[in-house]
Chain A
């Protein structure tokens, strides 16, 4: 970007001039340029960092949104699946349909409408959730299930094997293509086709992966979660090849549909497929930049990890396999955080709940208090949001954090828990401190508490004295009528002092009023100001 280069100090040449000229009419740009000049820093680096962070945030939210939609649909489908207790029947039917549809599919490989695509994904999801519930209901160990399925579908197995061979052949042919674009497009079509075939490929369990493919597996790590990742990577990288940035929601939705398949069904199939896929993947990747690969892997680590946490009610054998190999992987990737995430899940004693607390955007929340409800057992999440504490299964955990809604959920000792907290919407009002309520201690305000002196003889007698002693005025004030108001204080011997005319009537009248009070009787002792009015 030209502006970035300008900020970095390349301020000569036509581009620089253009920016400066633009700034003359664009106050936004002018302000920004001024800002960059006024503070010494590596601004370009910061800008790039912010842009990366922003991409990360938006893509994460993007994933969350897509995952939510997928989860909703999954619930919907599992409800349907529950009604049909024997999913094997259904899947058999589906297989027939799929095999029927197959020639048609390969016949028009070139273009596929999104609708067909969606149908494929739905079928897949349906089957996956179905088999998942079946697994749950029957509580059959995985290998046994494999055997059963194998027996049940001996006939379809052969068809599937044929298909597989066909596919492999196709693939090797494709390998010879040099154009990366064609390869990627083809491979994506293949992925689409595979999505449909996955419905069919359940019985291909027993077919051992060819040795060549096995070496590929070694490269990619034969691990269920990796498989998921590898699958996604393939899709993602096609994606990246096809467009510069970001993943289309539709594709992502597809990924989510795809998810239950690798997690819930039998690993052998998936490893089998993984071989092919990671192969494809490698080819696709070799055409893309290395850093892109790293990024996508990193992103999908998050996904596959959360997938395990939220979705995986994996049978014991599976999770063992998962943990050991994923531990290997985390070593390989040298990411301390992940290492911890996995190792903690593998080695903590039973009765220990561990997990991670995040906000609604998936950012870790450090310092969240987690209490086992009704007990004194509590812990606080660390800087990465991780926690571990002793609790029995299904005991209630309460997570509390300031600024977030408290959350209560049953403990699950079988897998790392992910607790997402929502920012609380109730905000505190800003506190405004003002000076209205402050009381001042000045002379006037305390006035009321002071005792006001009275005439010793009483007000009525004092008035009589005034009336008796008031001398008729003879000067120009003689004809005026009205009142003179005086104020004064009374000293310790009861005499008025500091007599002042508050309201004047006429000079001689004022003087006469003052004389009357001065010569008049004593007052009771008090420290208040006396007001006295005399009529003329």
Chain B
């Protein structure tokens, strides 16, 4: 009887959700949602641009879900919650008739093929292409990419090391990744 409590922290999201669906014990869903509070709150901050509103939205979403979640079929809770939380924010915005401004740069989520390249070096041909392509990048992009992926520095550390703006570092990495991908695809096709 007491065993399952010790395990709450160890359970995966989906297991916890299943527990909640089976028992209806709000504690299970509470524990699950607690894991995602930072993410949901951050997401709400992004769209609502106000800490109080974001907090309200986060708590409101929890209460909505607590009542309804058992009627949903959820395969991967994380992605499901992401879309639900986003819709929740949009709904709030729509009620206020505010224009939704989206940063298109963030919306384009690239596949992590580039990161695979940095992590796995079993394909020498592709690796050669990669090093070749990195050399072709404009200097700020090359420096940022090297520091992030090779030296595993954080954005803040790259800022310290290079003196670039934080925003610039991010866009250098973003653009550098895109350029690398295009370059590598070209060279491997040839």
**Any A CB within 8 A of the CB of B154:** yes
Q: Which of A245-280 contact B (CB under 8 A)?
A: 245-251
- Alpha-carbon gap, A62 to B31, bound state (A): 13
> Is there contact, CB below 8 Å, between B37 and A114?
no
- Alpha-carbon gap, A13 to B151, bound state (A): 11
Q: How many chain A residues have a CB neighbour from B under 8 Å? A: 54
**Any B CB within 8 A of the CB of A33:** yes
Across the interface, which residues of B come within 8 angstroms of A59, CB to CB?
A: 27, 30
> Is there contact, CB below 8 Å, between B4 and A47?
no
**Any B CB within 8 A of the CB of A28:** yes
Across the interface, which residues of A come within 8 angstroms of B111, CB to CB?
A: 25
- Alpha-carbon gap, A246 to B33, bound state (A): 15
Chain B contact residues (Cβ within 8 angstroms of A): what range?
35 or more
- Chain A residue at smallest Cβ distance from B47: A35
**Any B CB within 8 A of the CB of A4:** yes
Stretch of B48-56, B125-133, B134-142 lying at the A interface: B48-56
Given contacts A13-B154, A17-B153, A30-B106, contact A62 B6 (CB under 8 A): no
> Is there contact, CB below 8 Å, between A24 and B112?
yes
- Alpha-carbon gap, A3 to B38, bound state (A): 8
**Any B CB within 8 A of the CB of A310:** no
> Is there contact, CB below 8 Å, between A246 and B109?
no
- Chain B residue at smallest Cβ distance from A48: B37
Q: Which of A384-404 contact B (CB under 8 A)?
A: none
- Alpha-carbon gap, A239 to B5, bound state (A): 10
- Chain A residue at smallest Cβ distance from B6: A243
- Alpha-carbon gap, A19 to B103, bound state (A): 20
Across the interface, which residues of A come within 8 angstroms of B46, CB to CB?
A: 31-32, 34-35, 38
Stretch of A50-58, A406-414, A473-481 lying at the B interface: A50-58
- Alpha-carbon gap, A13 to B79, bound state (A): 28
Q: Which of B3-37 contact A (CB under 8 A)?
A: 4-6, 8-9, 23-27, 29-31, 33-34, 37
**Any B CB within 8 A of the CB of A61:** yes
- Chain B residue at smallest Cβ distance from A117: B1
> Is there contact, CB below 8 Å, between A14 and B41?
no
Question: A28-B79, A34-B46 are known contacts; what are 11 more A-B pairs with Cβ within 8 Å?
Answer: A4-B38, A14-B152, A17-B154, A25-B112, A31-B86, A32-B41, A39-B54, A43-B41, A59-B30, A62-B25, A242-B2
Rank and list the top 8 A-B pairs by shortest CB-CB distance, nearest first: A32-B42, A58-B30, A35-B45, A35-B46, A16-B154, A11-B156, A41-B51, A35-B42
Can you pick out 27 interface pairs between chain A and chain B where the beta carbons lie within 8 Å of each other? A20-B148, A27-B107, A27-B109, A28-B43, A28-B79, A32-B41, A32-B42, A32-B45, A32-B46, A34-B46, A35-B43, A41-B51, A43-B41, A43-B42, A43-B45, A43-B51, A46-B55, A54-B33, A54-B34, A58-B27, A59-B27, A65-B25, A114-B1, A242-B6, A245-B8, A248-B5, A250-B1
